[in-house]
Amino acid sequence: MPELPEVETVMRGLTPVWEGQRFTRVVAHRPDLRRPLPEALGQRLTGATVVRLGRRAKYGLVETDRGDTLIIHLGMSGRMRVDPDEREKHDHVVFETANGRVVAFNDARRFGSLDLVATEAAAAHPLLAGIGPEPLGPDYGPALLKRIFGDRLAPAKAILLDQRLIAGLGNIYVCEALFRAGIHPEMPGGQVTAAQLKRLQSAIPAVLEEAIAAGGSTLRDHAAPDGTLGYFQKDFAVYGRDGSGCMVCATPVERIVQSGRSSFFCPACQPKAGPRRKT
């Protein structure tokens, strides 16, 4: 599933195509994706001008001058195809703008979604309500990490994946950030030391910014709106590298399963600590 860097890449790619432009035609070729599409989606968007584009956690946001915001969730395989040469089977919703551009929401597995809500109520929408601070936003910092780790018994990885605590982090980038910070993914939050938290504070935004600069990670379906594939996967230190030597110490990277998800780590660089508390 696309994580924060992939969604950020998509929304940045759409900004020069949509921002300030008027939708002249919006056509839905099926009534639903993961959920039913908003009622009269095409009618409500046709004639509206895009005011700004943004992102919240793993959701893309498109605000219009009609006081509505389109919430885009890419799901497992969603893509926004700009100026496609021809329509594809899974181009489920097509947007046309006054500048002659065409954008198709393509989703082969149909796990994505489109929701249209009043902008003033967007933050309270079930998809966005209760989401934690952005790791690239002004509320991110040492106080946040200290608070969310606290004395928790939950594993460090589970804490970082909890969208109620911190927004937008997914499996790939949590594995990479924990490696940089030297934290075992199974280490209880309350056992993470102050030194490790300090390293983690720097590692999370660094990993995300590097991934955004690389256009995200393309493992299956992700691509920027212009069709460009992300290439951050070439820089993975641990994710998907089980059995390969650690890039720091050459110890074989290991894989475990936590809550149904694969975790990758270096057992030498990320030792599983004992009952030691934070200092």
Residues pairing with 41 in the sheet: none
Residue type, 161: L
End-to-end CA separation in angstroms for the chain = 36
Exactly one of 12, 66, 101, 261 is catalytic; which is it? Answer: 261
Closest by alpha carbon to 6, among 173, 215, 163?
215
What H or E segment, with its residue span, contains residue 113?
Answer: strand 113-118
Residue type, 103: V
Query: Which pairs from 214-222 meet CB under 8 Å and 24+ separation?
Result: 214/5, 215/9, 216/2, 216/3, 216/5, 216/6, 216/8, 216/9, 217/3, 217/5, 217/6, 217/172, 220/76, 220/77, 221/76, 221/77, 221/78, 221/79, 221/108, 222/2, 222/6, 222/79
Is 261 annotated in the active site? yes
Residue type, 38: P
Residue type, 201: Q
Exactly one of 58, 79, 157, 180 is catalytic; which is it? Answer: 58
In this structure, how many other beta carbons lie within 10 angstroms of the beta carbon of residue 116? 20
- Rounded to the nearest 5 degrees, what angle is found at the Cα of 68, between the Cα atoms of 55 and 87? 70
Closest by alpha carbon to 185, among 275, 279, 261, 277?
261
Is 3 annotated in the active site? yes
Burial degree of 249 (CB within 10 A; 0-12, 13-18, 19+): exposed
Exactly one of 2, 135, 155, 225 is catalytic; which is it? Answer: 2
* Residues annotated as catalytic (active site), given as ranges: 2-3, 58, 261
